[in-house]
Amino acid sequence: MVVALRRHYNGVARTLEEEPGQYLPMLELDERDGAVVWKPWMLGFARAVRLRPGAWSRIVSIDDLDVQEALLVIKRLYHGTNGTSNLEPMGLDLLDEMAPMLICGMVGELSALRPLRGGAKSCVWEVTEVSVSTAEEQVPCPCGSGRRYGRCCGTH
């Protein structure tokens, strides 16, 4: 599984480096209504952020409007995922509808920071084993089953 993850991550890194406009996150479609299921992607992204706290603290300190907007998108999406958003229901619906586009923009903006990672042109990401936190397991599954994400789609 680690080899498959590394292959996928390196493919994403190549796309972001060579053709950033072609980046599309791997998101599922809900078979019932065709809606894009983006919340598991966001949980995975949040998990990846926790793997590199030092790198993210440097990014947070960057005084650039585009970077700060990308970080705000991350926060909004994460809070929309884990049920801690202060948005009204209409705002949450809009966030849900716009999430795939927001994810693409946020990842594209943050990938432009690659020179801050040590100046390397090529980015090969290391993959380590990570356990899912208890908090993430308690998130309601976006598939609508009524079960917790960690006990439903998060087990795949």
Per-residue pLDDT tens over the stretch 145-154: 766 666 676 6
CA atoms of 153 and 156, how far apart (whole Å): 6
Eight-state DSSP code of residue 37: E
* Contact call for residues 123 and 55 (beta carbons, < 8 A): no
Tell whether pTM > 0.85. Answer: no
Asked if the model's pLDDT at residue 115 lies above 80, the reply is no
CA atoms of 147 and 145, how far apart (whole Å): 5
Predicted pLDDT at 154: 63
Predicted pLDDT at 128: 37
CA 111 to the chain's CA centroid: 13
Going by their DSSP bridges, the two strands 36-37 and 28-29 should be labelled as antiparallel
Asked if the model's pLDDT at residue 135 lies above 60, the reply is no
